[in-house]
């Protein structure tokens, strides 16, 4: 097994996750099996309890792990099979060390960061791959110099001693900022962050330099000299023009995968980039265009609905269609009315969410889509608001609501799930991960999937209240997906509408650029019509 560690310097949000995912894609194109994992230094056990303002999207794996959104990049760019083992936080490390201490596993000893915490981290480095990979790529969250990141870096330094230098590559992703006033790219911040790494005993093998401008030879030589890496190991990663899916091509041209396989002594052929070139070509030159409104409440955040935006892009690729996304704040709809934001749109998507804020705006969006016969795709909360809207305006149950938003509603059309009623702790207690769904023949869902049974990933506490199923069916709502074990409604559709689909699960966690999720692809196809 070979190991690649990716650290970040100077600032956060440098796109380490995308760099890791792209490198994973490149190594796969060279015929290697890769595994990717993320180590996050924060003390939360997982990001499931964090707000999108703090953390962006919470990405859910098939086994129900609530993880960092970088795992979404890993799954979209590679074929790596990820589980909760691939997402490690300081919270998990300390939880495990303290449990062992209480059990008496360290009896007689003083429990310390070195070696107990670092040992725990080292054990996790190799265990995530289950022996199923040739190369493990480990991304360390945060920025060099963060106090909470130190145990991870120390563990990595020790790991090299255990495993041998020839089996490890350190990649440092750094920022080379452009100063407008002097018209220059600046290397000092990178020099300093590499110096911090070297203080700990880690010498990066490769520098991946994020910059707005190309790095000329002089600058590469300077970085090489001060950061102690060969000139050819100074890799330029300029901001991509169209899409993140250009990144594997950019890094391949810069020779990143070649450097990695050379350093690791892996005898493999060149990467075949035809697949990725095809993806980028279709993105750049679409034959059609549609305008899709996404109605949510974190519209100013790039990352809050990351997988939804990516899945729309994939669906565009599948349909040879450019997708213009209009981010609509549900609270703006509440204030200014729906027309201003949704008129003329080819499709409306309401993604998942929690809490009261913006709910009435989302309900208005679902009503607009139903009445104006605009393709509607409701995901999780987006399905629940469509049900509330239908109850209020078609079934004439005026005060219908979800118990999440109105505990006193006379018509709780969205109910707290039975198994949730006894739940007290908030962490990792939702209905999570992959669950089965049987699909109704001749439904929109069936046409999309072309299957009568599927599995999709979940993250919710509330559900469609089955006591309304009969009356809603008689009024034109179709239940097109049901969980066979619990009878829980997984999908709804409307009879008298070109394409109106609500799903209780999160299809956005199973879409890839080369294989768009069937429901997203069908939604965009409907929007094109």
Active site residues: 380, 506, 508
What does the alpha-carbon distance between residue 465 and residue 37 come to, in Å, rounded to a whole number?
38
- Identity of the residue, 173 or 295, whose beta carbon is nearer to ligand GLN in the bound complex: 295
Stretch that binds ligand GLN, among 69-77, 306-314, 337-345, 352-360 (CB under 6 A): 352-360
- Among 245, 449, 462, 499, which residue sits at the site for ligand GLN (rule: CB under 6 A)? 462
**Residue number, nearest CB to ligand GLN:** 352
Stretch that binds ligand GLN, among 138-146, 272-280, 307-315, 460-468 (CB under 6 A): 460-468
**312 interacts with ligand GLN by CB under 6 A:** no
Stretch that binds ligand GLN, among 112-120, 201-209, 299-307, 377-385 (CB under 6 A): 377-385
- Identity of the residue, 175 or 380, whose beta carbon is nearer to ligand GLN in the bound complex: 380
- Identity of the residue, 236 or 404, whose beta carbon is nearer to ligand GLN in the bound complex: 404
**353 interacts with ligand GLN by CB under 6 A:** yes
CB of 464 to ligand GLN, least distance (A): 10
CA atoms within 13 A on the CB side of 486: 15
Q: Tokens 């049974």 map to which residue?
A: 453
> Is the separation of the CB atoms in 298 and 304 below 8 Å?
yes
Binding mask 389-418 toward ligand GLN (x if CB under 6 A, else -) reads: ---------------x--------------
Supply the angle between the helices 150-163 and 118-127 in degrees, to the nearest 10.
Answer: 60
CA distances from 250 to 21, 26, 256, 522 (A): 13, 11, 9, 31
**354 interacts with ligand GLN by CB under 6 A:** yes
Residues 6+ apart with CB under 8 A from 367: 338, 389, 393
Q: Tokens 């729309």 map to which residue?
A: 312
CB of 416 to ligand GLN, least distance (A): 8
Angle at CA 360, nearest 5°, toward 358 and 366? 105
CB of 462 to ligand GLN, least distance (A): 3
- Among 459, 478, 497, 517, which residue sits at the site for ligand GLN (rule: CB under 6 A)? 459
**460 interacts with ligand GLN by CB under 6 A:** yes
Cβ of 73: how many Cβ atoms within 10 Å?
29
- Identity of the residue, 56 or 353, whose beta carbon is nearer to ligand GLN in the bound complex: 353
Residues 6+ apart with CB under 8 A from 448: 518, 519, 521, 522
- 498: nearest Cα among 450, 440, 447, 462: 447
> Is the separation of the CB atoms in 159 and 118 below 8 Å?
no
**380 interacts with ligand GLN by CB under 6 A:** yes
What does the alpha-carbon distance between residue 35 and residue 263 come to, in Å, rounded to a whole number?
18
**55 interacts with ligand GLN by CB under 6 A:** no
- Identity of the residue, 319 or 510, whose beta carbon is nearer to ligand GLN in the bound complex: 510
Alpha helix (H) ranges present in 228-358?
247-253, 256-264, 274-284, 306-319, 330-336, 339-342
CB of 48 to ligand GLN, least distance (A): 11
- Among 381, 395, 489, 501, which residue sits at the site for ligand GLN (rule: CB under 6 A)? 381
**59 interacts with ligand GLN by CB under 6 A:** no
Supply the angle between the helices 90-103 and 118-127 in degrees, to the nearest 10.
Answer: 110
Query: Footprint of ligand GLN on this chain (CB under 6 A)?
Result: 352-354, 380-381, 384, 404, 459-462
């Amino acid at each position: 097994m070979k190991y690649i560690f990716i650290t970040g310097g100077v600032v956060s949000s440098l796109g380490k996750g995308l760099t890791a995912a792209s490198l994973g894609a490149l190594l796969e194109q060279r015929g290697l099996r890769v595994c990717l994992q993320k180590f996050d230094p924060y003390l939360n056990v997982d990001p499931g309890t964090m707000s999108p303002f703090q953390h962006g999207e919470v990405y859910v794996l098939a086994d129900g792990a609530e993880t960092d959104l970088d795992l979404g990049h890993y799954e979209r760019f590679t074929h790596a099979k990820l589980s909760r083992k691939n997402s490690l936080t300081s919270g998990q490390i300390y939880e495990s060390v303290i449990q062992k201490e209480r059990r008496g596993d360290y009896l007689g000893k003083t429990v310390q960061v070195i070696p107990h915490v670092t040992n725990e981290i080292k054990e996790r480095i190799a265990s995530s791959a289950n022996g199923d990979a040739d190369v493990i790529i480990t991304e360390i969250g945060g920025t060099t110099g963060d106090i909470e990141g130190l145990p991870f870096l120390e563990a990595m330094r020790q790991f090299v001693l255990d495993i041998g230098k020839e089996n490890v590559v350190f990649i440092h992703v750094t920022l080379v900022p452009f100063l407008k006033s002097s018209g220059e790219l600046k290397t000092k911040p990178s020099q300093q962050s590499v110096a911090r790494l070297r203080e700990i005993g880690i010498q990066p093998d490769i520098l991946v330099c994020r910059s707005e401008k190309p790095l000329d030879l002089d600058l590469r030589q300077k970085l090489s000299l001060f950061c102690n890496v060969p000139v050819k190991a100074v890799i330029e990663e300029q901001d991509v023009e169209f899409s993140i899916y250009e990144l594997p091509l950019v890094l391949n041209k810069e020779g990143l995968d070649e450097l990695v396989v050379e350093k690791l002594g892996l005898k493999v052929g060149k990467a075949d980039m035809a697949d990725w070139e095809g993806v980028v070509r279709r993105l750049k030159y679409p034959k059609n265009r549609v305008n899709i409104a996404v109605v949510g409440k974190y519209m100013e955040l790039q990352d809050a609905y990351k997988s939804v935006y990516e899945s729309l892009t994939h669906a565009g690729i599948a349909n040879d269609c450019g997708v213009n996304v209009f981010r609509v704040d549900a609270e703006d709809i509440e204030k200014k009315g729906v027309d201003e934001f949704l008129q003329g749109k080819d499709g409306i998507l309401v993604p998942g969410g929690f809490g009261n804020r913006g709910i009435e705006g989302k309900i208005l969006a679902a009503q607009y889509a139903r009445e104006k016969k605009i393709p509607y795709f409701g995901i999780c909360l987006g399905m629940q608001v469509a049900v509330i809207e239908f109850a209020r305006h078609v079934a004439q149950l005026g005060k219908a609501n979800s118990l999440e938003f109105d505990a006193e509603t006379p018509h709780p059309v969205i109910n707290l799930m039975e198994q949730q009623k006894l739940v007290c702790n908030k962490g990792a207690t939702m209905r999570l991960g992959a669950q089965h769904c049987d699909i109704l023949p001749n439904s929109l869902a069936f046409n999309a999937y072309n299957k009568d049974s599927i599995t999709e990933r979940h993250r919710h506490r509330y559900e469609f209240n089955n006591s309304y199923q009969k009356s809603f069916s008689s009024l034109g709502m179709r239940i097109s997906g049901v969980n066979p074990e619990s009878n829980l409604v997984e999908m709804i559709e409307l009879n008298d509408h070109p394409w109106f689909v609500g799903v209780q699960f999160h299809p956005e966690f199973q879409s890839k650029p080369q294989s768009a999720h069937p429901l997203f692809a069908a939604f965009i196809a409907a929007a094109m019509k």
